[in-house]
């Protein structure tokens, strides 16, 4: 970006300084993004100026002068936790409102052969694992990235990538699609936008941008744009609680499940959903909006010499800094955005160096090993004002927890199984925001802000279908819900649970419950692996995948009989290790080659018989 020397018209000095600081910290890609962002804001702002009832809006249907576009628009999304789906829906509704001929598909259900017939394609996809697409979109990615993918010379496309900048492969799945569509000859309508976890505004801007370019009438007339987030439906009296409008659930139980002497702390939390109207199915997750630890807030304020009463803008509203740090902003885990921000403000060589593209690895490891507080302490900035500091922070995000109960057994309740994240960094004990909140700031009868996060990709099959549940640590949570549900329904299908943790004596989560389920023959089988117990067979550490292999014959027989397979828990190690073990089992027992075994598992996945909920 070229250096702008003069203050832009209409900006005051502070704003001008902030803009300059920001500009200095941006790399070229970010600059592009920021320009798009402002464009979108501008567009949305102008749209907002229009009268509520939209007299100026020329409805495409009612106004015969408007010739509907002959091109069709397809909105395709790949999602795990529903963010992409929600944005796709918004986009679709707005497109419809503009009179566009639009259809929306989940990549999971999209007919790949249709692709070559598409005209305008808008893709929204999130990233998981090591730059992977959401699990349900894996098939689509394989198709489009494989050699069977058609050439797409007539296609116009745009990609919105969802991700989390604290991950190494940021928005990688979106990037892959963007790259690939171009390779296949398609024309990019608009540059890809990568969205961090606070995607609301950039996504809204992008949607506006896309619609503008698709619907030429709107640019001419400045037609209304409906808000990205529709207001709660007017028909219902009780408010519908969701991510944006979470319910204050009362804590009715909060105990430590791990026994004395355990190397970890895992809690069982029960929440009352009474009068919320919230319901869920086994497999769903609960979103929880935490607050930051007062001690972390103190530390930040002290390091910056700021007072909690200083006002900052949160969602456009002036908010006391103390409150903003407590309830609205992420103040612990370091993000690339903050690093860049602080490098710009502090001008510290060490930080500036990290922002350069050729120091990516160093930068990643720095981010992993430092919190925001470490950065502001080690690279102090004199007399920083609250607003400037806050610009570098991203909004506090809700955390998801698999629901560990079934409404059939505990009506109006949601139970969670939460591992308290605690670790030492630079000689200081650090604690996860949400899990720490639950461990230290969630007394009985207190309240937590929650919503239900649907998880349609993790569902029980019909009652008579056998299930194999594989989980480690808190990955056991949804299986407690599954078994409660099956017990309540009197399901006839067999069930087999594999569970792994560190130590038998202290970490066998819900041990007595599993024991009685086994005794009552509701749970058919259970195998456990405790990695830190002495291996009495003399080998190395034992994990669930080892138990799977020990049971290889029975396991394969279950699969052949139509069992559904579930994997829940750690995404980095458990899921891939279990997958490898399963592939080996299928190969061995089914007498298949490696490729055929992999096919077998993929078929299971496609048939939704192999579902994962990993994090």
Ligand X SMILES: Cc1cc2nc3c(=O)[nH]c(=O)nc-3n(C[C@H](O)[C@H](O)[C@H](O)COP(=O)(O)O)c2cc1C
Ligand Y SMILES: Cc1cc2nc3c(=O)[nH]c(=O)nc-3n(C[C@H](O)[C@H](O)[C@H](O)COP(=O)(O)OP(=O)(O)OC[C@H]3O[C@@H](n4cnc5c(N)ncnc54)[C@H](O)[C@@H]3O)c2cc1C
Nearest residue (CB) to ligand Y, 437 versus 546: 437
Minimum Å gap between C-beta 254 and ligand X is 24
Per CB under 6 A, 485 contacts ligand X: no
Stretch of 14-22, 232-240, 419-427, 579-587 lying at the interface with ligand Y (CB under 6 A): 419-427
Q: Are 586 and 557 in contact (CB under 8 A)?
A: no
Per CB under 6 A, 571 contacts ligand X: yes
Nearest residue (CB) to another protein, 430 versus 480: 480
Minimum Å gap between C-beta 493 and ligand Y is 24
Per CB under 6 A, 332 contacts ligand Y: yes
Per-residue mark of binding to ligand X, 328-367 (x: CB under 6 A): ----------------------------------------
Nearest residue (CB) to another protein, 155 versus 257: 257
Tokens matching residue 585: 């089992």
Provide the CB-side half-sphere exposure for 604 (13 A, CA).
27
Which residues, at least 6 apart from 116, have a Cβ–Cβ distance to it below 8 Å? 150, 151, 152
Nearest residue (CB) to ligand Y, 417 versus 491: 417
Q: Are 78 and 84 in contact (CB under 8 A)?
A: yes
Stretch of 314-322, 415-423, 487-495, 593-601 lying at the interface with ligand Y (CB under 6 A): 415-423
What is the C-alpha separation between 408 and 412, in angstroms, rounded? Answer: 9
Q: Are 474 and 417 in contact (CB under 8 A)?
A: yes
Minimum Å gap between C-beta 478 and ligand Y is 8
Which option in another protein, ligand X, ligand Y, none does residue 171 bind, with CB closer than 5 to 8 A by kind? ligand X
Nearest residue (CB) to ligand X, 36 versus 129: 129
Tell me which residues touch another protein (CB under 8 A): 255-260, 268, 504-506, 508-515, 518, 526-528, 533-534, 536
Nearest residue (CB) to ligand Y, 103 versus 397: 397
Per-residue mark of binding to ligand X, 105-144 (x: CB under 6 A): ---------------------xxxx-x--x----------
User: Could you count the other beta carbons within 10 Å of the beta carbon of residue 394?
Assistant: 19
Stretch of 1-9, 320-328, 399-407, 501-509 lying at the interface with ligand Y (CB under 6 A): 399-407
Per-residue mark of binding to ligand X, 523-562 (x: CB under 6 A): ----------------------------------------
Please give the DSSP secondary-structure letter assigned to residue 356: S
**H/E segment holding residue 14:** helix 13-25
Residue with tokens 């999209």: 110
* From 122, 285, 386, 452, residue interacting with ligand Y (rule: CB under 6 A): 285
What is the C-alpha separation between 572 and 130, in angstroms, rounded? Answer: 8
Per CB under 6 A, 453 contacts ligand X: no
Q: Using CB under 6 A, which residues numbered 49 to 68 contact ligand Y?
A: none
Nearest residue (CB) to ligand Y, 44 versus 364: 364
Q: What number of residues does the chain have?
A: 615
Whole-number Cα distances in Å, 424 to 59, 101, 369, 389, 594: 59, 55, 10, 25, 42
Which option in another protein, ligand X, ligand Y, none does residue 119 bind, with CB closer than 5 to 8 A by kind? none
Per CB under 6 A, 297 contacts ligand Y: no
| DSSP output for 16-44 | HHHHHHHHHH--HHHHHHHHHHHHHHHHH
Tokens matching residue 408: 């059939």
| DSSP output for 526-580 | EEEEETTS--TTS-S---HHHHHHHTHHHHHHHHHTT-EEEEEE-TTTHHHHHHH
Per CB under 6 A, 333 contacts ligand Y: yes
Per CB under 6 A, 289 contacts ligand Y: no
Q: Which long-range contacts (CB under 8 A, 24 or more apart) does 185-189 make?
A: 185/151, 185/152, 185/153, 185/155, 186/121, 186/152, 186/153, 186/155, 186/156, 186/157, 187/155, 187/156, 187/157, 188/156, 188/157, 188/158, 189/120, 189/122, 189/156, 189/157, 189/158, 189/213, 189/214
For residue 379, is it left (φ>0), alpha (ψ between -120 and 50) or beta? beta
What is the C-alpha separation between 81 and 102, in angstroms, rounded? Answer: 23
Which option in another protein, ligand Y, ligand X, none does residue 421 bind, with CB closer than 5 to 8 A by kind? ligand Y
Stretch of 61-69, 232-240, 313-321, 429-437 lying at the interface with ligand Y (CB under 6 A): 429-437
Stretch of 171-179, 427-435, 519-527, 541-549 lying at the interface with ligand Y (CB under 6 A): 427-435
| DSSP output for 148-170 | TPPP-TT-EEEEEEE--TTSSST
Q: Are 191 and 34 in contact (CB under 8 A)?
A: no
Nearest residue (CB) to ligand X, 197 versus 223: 197
Per CB under 6 A, 198 contacts ligand X: no
Residue with tokens 């499940």: 257
Stretch of 164-172, 236-244, 270-278, 375-383 lying at the interface with ligand X (CB under 6 A): 164-172
Which option in another protein, ligand X, ligand Y, none does residue 384 bind, with CB closer than 5 to 8 A by kind? none
Nearest residue (CB) to ligand Y, 325 versus 400: 400
Per CB under 6 A, 615 contacts ligand Y: yes
Give me the numbers of helices (H) and strands (E) for the chain, helices first please. 22, 21
Residue with smallest beta-carbon separation from ligand X = 163
Q: How many residues belong to the site for ligand Y (CB under 6 A)?
A: 24
Nearest residue (CB) to ligand X, 466 versus 473: 473
Q: Using CB under 6 A, which residues numbered 144 to 163 contact ligand X?
A: 162-163
Per CB under 6 A, 545 contacts ligand Y: no
Tokens matching residue 222: 């400045």
Minimum Å gap between C-beta 58 and ligand X is 33
List the one residue out of 340, 430, 452, 298 whose CA is nearest residue 28.
Answer: 340
Judged by the rule CB under 6 A, the positions of this chain that interact with ligand X are 79-84, 126-129, 131, 134, 162-164, 167, 169-172, 197, 571, 615
Judged by the rule CB under 6 A, the positions of this chain that interact with ligand Y are 81, 285, 290, 332-333, 399-402, 417-419, 421, 423, 425, 432-436, 474, 477, 613, 615
């Amino acid at each position: 970006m070229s250096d702008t020397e003069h203050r832009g018209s209409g900006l005051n000095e502070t704003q001008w300084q902030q803009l300059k600081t920001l500009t200095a910290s941006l790399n070229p890609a970010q600059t592009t993004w920021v320009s798009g962002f402002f464009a979108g804001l501008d567009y949305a702002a102008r749209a907002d100026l229009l009268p509520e009832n939209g007299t100026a809006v020329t409805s495409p249907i009612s106004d015969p002068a408007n010739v509907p576009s002959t091109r069709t628009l397809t909105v395709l999304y790949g999602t795990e936790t529903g963010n992409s789906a929600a944005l796709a829906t918004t986009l679709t509704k707005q497109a419809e409102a503009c009179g566009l001929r639009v259809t929306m598909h989940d990549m999971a259900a999209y007919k790949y052969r249709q692709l070559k017939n598409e005209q305008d394609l808008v893709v929204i996809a999130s990233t998981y694992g090591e730059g992977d697409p959401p699990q349900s979109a894996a098939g689509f990615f394989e198709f489009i990235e494989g050699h069977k993918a058609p050439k797409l010379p007539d296609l116009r496309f745009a990609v919105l990538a969802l991700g989390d900048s604290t991950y190494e492969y940021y928005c990688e799945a979106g990037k892959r699609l963007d790259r690939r569509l171009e390779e296949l000859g398609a024309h990019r309508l608009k540059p890809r936008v990568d969205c961090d976890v606070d995607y609301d505004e950039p996504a809204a801007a992008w949607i506006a941008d896309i619609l503008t370019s698709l619907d030429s009438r709107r640019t001419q007339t400045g037609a209304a744009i409906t808000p990205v987030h529709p207001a709660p439906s007017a028909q219902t009296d009780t408010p519908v609680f969701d991510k944006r409008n979470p319910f204050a659930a009362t804590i009715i139980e909060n105990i430590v499940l791990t026994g004395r002497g355990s190397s970890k702390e895992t809690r069982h939390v029960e929440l009352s959903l009474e009068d919320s109207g919230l319901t869920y199915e086994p497999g769903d997750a609960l979103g929880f909006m935490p607050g930051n630890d007062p001690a972390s807030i103190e530390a930040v304020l002290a390091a910056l010499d700021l007072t909690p009463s200083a006002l900052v803008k949160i969602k456009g509203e002036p908010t006391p800094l103390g409150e903003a740090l407590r309830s609205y902003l992420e103040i612990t885990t370091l993000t690339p955005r903050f690093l860049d921000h602080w490098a710009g403000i502090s001008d510290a060589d060490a930080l500036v160096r990290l922002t350069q593209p050729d120091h990516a690895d160093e930068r990643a490891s720095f981010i992993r090993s430092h919190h925001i507080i470490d950065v502001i302490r080690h690279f102090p900035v004199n007399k920083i004002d609250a607003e400037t500091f806050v610009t570098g922070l991203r909004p506090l995000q809700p955390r998801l927890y698999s629901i560990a109960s079934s409404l059939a057994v505990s009506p109006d309740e949601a139970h969670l199984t939460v591992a308290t994240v605690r670790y030492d960094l630079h000689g200081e004990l650090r604690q996860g925001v949400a899990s720490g909140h639950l461990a230290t700031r969630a007394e009985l009868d207190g309240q937590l802000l929650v919503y239900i996060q649907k998880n349609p990709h993790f569902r029980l099959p019909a009652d008579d279908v056998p299930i194999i549940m594989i989980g480690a640590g808190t990955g056991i949570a949804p299986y407690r819900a599954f078994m409660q549900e099956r017990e309540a329904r009197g399901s006839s299908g067999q069930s087999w649970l594999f569970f792994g943790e560190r130590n038998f004596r202290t970490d066998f989560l819900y041990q007595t419950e599993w024991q009685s389920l086994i005794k009552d023959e509701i749970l058919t089988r259970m195998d456990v692996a405790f990695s830190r117990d002495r291996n009495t067979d003399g080998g190395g550490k034992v994990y669930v995948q080892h138990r799977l292999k020990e049971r290889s014959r029975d396991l394969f027989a279950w699969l052949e009989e139509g069992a559904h397979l579930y994997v829940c828990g750690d995404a980095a190690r458990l899921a891939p290790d279990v997958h490898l073990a399963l592939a080996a089992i299928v190969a061995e027992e089914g007498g298949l080659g490696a490729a055929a075994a992999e096919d077998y598992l993929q078929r299971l996945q496609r048939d939704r018989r192999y579902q994962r909920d990993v994090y």
